[in-house]
């Protein structure tokens, strides 16, 4: 029986202004390095810009407008050189209001509300889902008391009584004003959604000032308005290129474009206006204008980010030199941070002790060779070539930086220079630049050792490092702990932390995470598809976050649940899932059917998780005393309920073919029912409790995760 231990050291998290998913590490060899130099404690990283470097730079737009005298049309032609100016006759856009997912909506209006074309006297209306229909209630205000007024089998449309916006009233007391109509409807998987049907320009009035500061319009004696006009066209084109759902084109979060409506008011605070005269004017000045893809003739998906640092990347739009980004007021054009090398070792433990890193490939567009493409990381156990995007993605957290004041992302872009490379930077702004100019293409790779890499020994021959205790708490200011672990694909492993970070192990692809985003509740589990193409994260309030090929089918996030959610199971099709709460209630979504639950039944101990039956027509729920409860066609294979465990059960997983299941306890004991017992940690003296358990796609191995980040592998797991 094989048992291996992985060392995981994970940095803390912080919010990035621009969040987009990045790819994982590129394939690379690993070579043993004889007489490796001592590991330095930090790596100096000098970088340029902030964001993904694709398409328009917001700071660059300001620089071109104020410093270079460009019009917004010239700015757009430069950043989106394979598009043409065009127009759209779209009058309205449908925006998913994610706060109200699965719960309907509560709205108010001082002059009354029109419901499905019928004006009612009440000043507040609440619409909630009931089975396949909706219940409509009325009240004098959002506080109640509520009276059932009608039911409907069709989507419910709420219109304001006049031109004043509708107000949505959240359970926590926050008010938001929205122009247009609010519709409660269902998607193709019967998920309940609340959608704002709003005029395109009214939508942009709520978007543009949240993307570019409205005050820019006052700079350069009004020249800055061209930056706001460019942002308006880019935001309009991006929104109209979206077709995300059957019920809406776009959403209101950073996954789409941030949209908060007309205004908002938090409890006990003054109302805050989100619209501004400058951005209102920029939207009006460009009304109907979009960028059109030259090949398809469709609205282009015009991405943008805060700052490129001096050059964009060659993606959907050709790479160009960005002289505008050099504008003097840009606070992120150039920056330098010291990265803890322990964070690099935690992100790529296969290198051993970190000894150095350098850029081996650049794009060739921009000063000093342009943004990095490939970075070589070297250590006592080998070397690894990774994409610059992966380098940024894995080390983006503020915990990777030695400066405690850095709280908005440590590595802000892929335009980076490592260590002594910063001595060769020439950031002189280019002169005589024309629209669409790609600049002088000069590839400036760092010197590399091109000797043939030595194949690394097989994992079985690689003992744990004796000089370091594997721990997830290697970063001093680490504030969260692991929440769960999941397996999929070719031995890939994903570890989720309570704050929404996801750590990729064994070369697992980076599908994304929610690290740095404000969460209503901590994460409690992660569930990956067997083929490794995506996963779901689930929070204690039942909030569900989907990544890769996994689709969102609904959640209990934002609505009251009877007890904290403790587990999740996907249907075999991947088109639905169940959530289970500590009191035994089961919440189905998508194609998952409800087959019963232990809600209302006295339990000896709380629930800890659940698994699906092979057909998806049943499931099992599990309690912390090892009790097992079968519903639908799920087969009961045994339990430890009533027996004395060495510690409470904390997690459960089923064999992929459904033949049986494993239950793991806090002290690492594994109890196997109709499946192979591949070993456990019951004989180990663990210093931290077990918090997670994952089974390989072939069912011939599993992994046990401790709260300090130690990951123990058994059988075929690695």
Q: pLDDT tens for residues 345-365?
A: 888 899 999 999 999 999 999
- Closest residue by Cα to residue 566 from 576, 556, 574, 558: 556
Q: Which residue reads 């330095």 in tokens?
A: 40
Q: 478 or 88, which is more confident?
A: 88
CB 608 within 8 A of CB 652: yes
**CA-CA distances (angstroms) from residue 485 to 8, 367, 525, 567, 650?**
12, 42, 7, 12, 13
pLDDT of residue 333: 94
Per-residue pLDDT of 397-413, as tens digits, reads 556 777 665 545 678 89
- 3-class SS string, 365-427: CCHHHCCEEEEEEEECCEEEEEEHHHHHHHCCCHHHECCCCCCCCCCCCCCEEEHHHHHHCCC
Least confident of 452-456, 503-507, 698-702: 452-456
With pLDDT > 90 as the criterion, what percentage of the chain qualifies? 41
pLDDT of residue 33: 35
**CA-CA distances (angstroms) from residue 41 to 10, 232, 354?**
16, 45, 9
What's the CA gap between 179 and 203, in Å, rounded?
8
Q: Is it the case that residue 22 has pLDDT exceeding 70?
A: no
The four Cα atoms 486, 488, 490, 492 give a dihedral, to 10 degrees, of -30
pLDDT of residue 444: 34
Q: Which phi-psi region, left, alpha or beta, contains residue 469 (left: φ > 0; alpha: ψ -120 to 50)? A: beta
- 3-class SS string, 583-642: CCCEEEEECCCCCCCCCCCCCCCCEEEEEECCCCCEEEEEECCCCEEEEECCCCCCCCCC
Per-residue pLDDT of 44-93, as tens digits, reads 999 999 988 999 999 999 999 999 999 999 999 999 999 999 999 999 99
pLDDT of residue 39: 55
Least confident of 191-200, 480-489, 594-603: 480-489
| pLDDT mean over 247-262 | 88
Q: Confidence band (pLDDT; 50, 70, 90) for 295?
A: confident
Question: What is the average pLDDT value for the chain, to the nearest integer?
Answer: 82
| pLDDT mean over 679-704 | 85
With pLDDT > 70 as the criterion, what percentage of the chain qualifies? 84
Q: Which residues pair with 354 in a beta bridge?
A: 379
pLDDT of residue 320: 94
Least confident of 96-100, 283-287, 349-353, 709-713: 709-713
| pTM, two decimal places | 0.59
pLDDT of residue 560: 66
| pLDDT mean over 208-216 | 93
Q: Is it the case that residue 479 has pLDDT exceeding 80?
A: no
pLDDT of residue 139: 93
pLDDT of residue 520: 79
What's the CA gap between 300 and 493, in Å, rounded?
36
Instruction: Give me the sheet containing 576-581, strands edge to edge.
Output: 565-570, 576-581, 586-590
Name, in order, each residue with C-beta under 8 angstroms of 240's C-beta and a sequence gap of 6 or more: 88, 90, 93, 200, 249, 290, 299
pLDDT of residue 430: 63
Q: Confidence band (pLDDT; 50, 70, 90) for 7?
A: very low
What's the CA gap between 507 and 26, in Å, rounded?
9
CB 227 within 8 A of CB 58: yes
CB 561 within 8 A of CB 581: yes
CB 446 within 8 A of CB 70: no
**Most confident region among 140-144, 307-311, 481-485, 642-646 by mean pLDDT:** 307-311
Q: Which residues pair with 664 in a beta bridge?
A: 651, 670
Q: Is it the case that residue 136 has pLDDT exceeding 50?
A: yes
Burial class (CB within 10 angstroms; exposed 0-12, middle 13-18, buried 19+) of 458: exposed
Classify 491 as helix, strand or coil: coil
Q: Which residues pair with 523 in a beta bridge?
A: 539
What's the CA gap between 703 and 676, in Å, rounded?
14
What's the CA gap between 588 and 314, in Å, rounded?
43
Torsion sign across C-alpha atoms 171, 172, 174, 176: negative
Q: 147 or 448, which is more confident?
A: 147
| pLDDT mean over 124-128 | 94
| pLDDT mean over 172-198 | 92
């Amino acid at each position: 029986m094989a048992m291996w231990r992985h060392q995981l050291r994970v940095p803390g998290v912080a919010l990035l202004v621009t969040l987009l998913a990045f790819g994982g590490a590129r394939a690379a060899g690993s070579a043993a390095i004889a007489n490796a130099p001592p590991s330095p404690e930090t790596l100096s990283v000098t970088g340029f810009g902030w964001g993904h470097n694709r398409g328009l730079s917001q700071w660059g737009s300001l620089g071109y407008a104020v410093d270079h005298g460009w019009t917004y049309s010239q700015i757009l032609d430069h950043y989106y050189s394979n598009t043409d100016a065009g127009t759209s006759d779209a009058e309205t856009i449908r925006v998913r209001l994610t706060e109200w997912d699965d719960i309907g909506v509560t709205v108010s209006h001082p002059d009354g509300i029109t419901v499905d074309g019928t004006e009612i006297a009440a000043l507040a209306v609440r619409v909630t889902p009931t089975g396949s229909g909706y219940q409509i209630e009325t009240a004098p205000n959002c506080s109640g008391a509520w009276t059932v007024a009608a039911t409907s089998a069709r989507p419910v449309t709420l219109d304001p009584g006049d031109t004043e916006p509708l107000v949505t009233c959240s359970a926590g007391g926050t008010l938001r004003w929205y122009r247009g109509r609010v519709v409660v409807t269902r998607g193709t998987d019967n998920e309940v959604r609340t959608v704002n049907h709003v005029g395109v320009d009214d939508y942009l009035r709520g978007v543009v000032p949240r993307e570019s500061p409205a005050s820019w319009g006052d700079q350069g004696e009004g020249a800055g308005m061209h930056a706001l006009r460019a942002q308006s066209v880019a935001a309009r084109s991006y929104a109209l290129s979206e077709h995300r759902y059957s019920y809406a084109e776009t959403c209101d979060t950073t996954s789409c474009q941030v949209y908060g409506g007309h205004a908002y008011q938090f409890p006990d605070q003054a109302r805050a206006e989100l619209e501004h005269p400058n951005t209102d004017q920029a939207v009006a000045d460009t009304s109907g204008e979009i960028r059109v893809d030259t090949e398809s003739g469709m609205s282009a998906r015009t991405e943008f980010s805060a700052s490129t640092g001096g050059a964009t990347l060659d993606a959907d739009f050709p790479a160009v030199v960005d002289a505008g980004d050099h504008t003097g007021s840009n606070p992120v054009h150039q920056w330098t941070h010291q990265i803890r090398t322990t964070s690099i070792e935690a992100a790529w433990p296969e290198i051993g002790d970190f000894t150095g890193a350098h850029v081996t490939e650049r794009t060739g567009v921009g000063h000093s060779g342009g943004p990095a493409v490939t970075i070589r990381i070297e250590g006592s156990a080998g070397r690894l070539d990774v994409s610059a995007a992966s380098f940024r993605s894995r080390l983006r957290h503020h915990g990777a930086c030695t400066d405690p004041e850095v709280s908005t992302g440590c590595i802000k872009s892929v335009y980076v220079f490592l260590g002594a490379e910063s001595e060769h930077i020439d950031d002189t702004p280019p002169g005589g630049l024309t629209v669409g100019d790609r600049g002088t293409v000069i590839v400036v790779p760092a010197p590399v050792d091109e000797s043939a890499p030595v194949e690394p020994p097989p994992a079985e021959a690689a003992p744990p490092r004796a000089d370091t205790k594997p721990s997830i708490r290697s970063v001093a200011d680490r504030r969260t702990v692991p929440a769960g672990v999941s397996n999929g694909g070719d031995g890939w492993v994903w570890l989720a932390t309570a704050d929404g970070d996801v750590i990729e192990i064994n070369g697992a692809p980076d599908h994304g995470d929610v690290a740095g985003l404000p969460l209503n509740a901590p994460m409690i589990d992660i569930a990956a598809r067997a083929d490794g193409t995506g996963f779901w994260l689930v929070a204690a309030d039942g909030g569900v976050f989907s990544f890769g090929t996994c689709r969102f089918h609904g959640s209990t996030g934002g609505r009251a649940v009877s007890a904290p959610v403790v587990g999740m199971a996907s249907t075999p099709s991947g088109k639905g899932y169940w959530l289970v709460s500590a009191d035994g209630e089961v919440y189905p979504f998508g194609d998952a059917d409800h087959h019963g639950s232990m809600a209302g039944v006295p339990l000896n101990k709380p629930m800890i998780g659940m698994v699906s039956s092979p057909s998806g027509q049943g499931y099992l729920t599990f309690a912390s005393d090892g009790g097992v409860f079968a519903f639908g066609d799920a087969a009961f294979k045994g339990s430890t309920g009533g027996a004395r465990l060495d510690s409470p059960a904390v997690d459960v997983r089923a064999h992929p073919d459904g033949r049986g299941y494993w239950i793991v306890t806090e002290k690492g004991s594994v109890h196997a029912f109709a499946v192979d017992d591949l070993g456990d940690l019951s004989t180990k003296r663990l210093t931290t409790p077990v918090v997670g358990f994952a089974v390989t796609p072939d069912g011939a191995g599993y992994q046990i995760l401790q709260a300090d980040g130690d990951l123990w592998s058994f059988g075929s797991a690695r």
